[in-house]
Amino acid sequence: MRKFIDEFKKFAIKGNMFDLAIGVIIGAAFSKIVTSLVDDVIMPVLSVVIGRINIAEAGIPLIKNPDGEQIILKYGAFINNIIDFLLISLSIFIFIRLINKFKRKEEIKEEKEEKKEKSEEIQLLEEIRDLLKEKHN
What's the confidence (pLDDT) of residue 106? Answer: 85
Name which residue leads in pLDDT, 12 or 126: 126
Task: Return d(Cα 85, Cα 42) in angstroms, integer.
Answer: 13
Residue 73, strand partner residues: 60
Whether 9 is in a domain gets the answer: yes
Task: Return d(Cα 58, Cα 36) in angstroms, integer.
Answer: 18
Distance of alpha carbon 133 from its chain centroid, rounded? Answer: 58
Whether 123 is in a domain gets the answer: no
Number of compact structural domains in the chain: 1
Whether 115 is in a domain gets the answer: no
Tell me what percent of the residues of the chain surpass a pLDDT of 70: 93
Task: Convert the pLDDT of each residue in 45-64 to its tens digit.
Answer: 888 887 767 777 888 888 88
What's the confidence (pLDDT) of residue 26? Answer: 84
Whether 133 is in a domain gets the answer: no
Range of the domain at 77: 2-107
Whether 41 is in a domain gets the answer: yes
pLDDT over 80 at 114, yes or no = no
Q: Is the sign of the CA dihedral 25, 31, 34, 35 positive or negative?
A: negative
pLDDT over 70 at 12, yes or no = no
Task: Return d(Cα 23, Cα 13) in angstroms, integer.
Answer: 17
Whether 120 is in a domain gets the answer: no
Whether 63 is in a domain gets the answer: yes
Name which residue leads in pLDDT, 128 or 15: 128
User: What CATH number did the domain enclosing 48 receive?
Assistant: 1.10.1200.120
Whether 118 is in a domain gets the answer: no
Residue 72, strand partner residues: 61
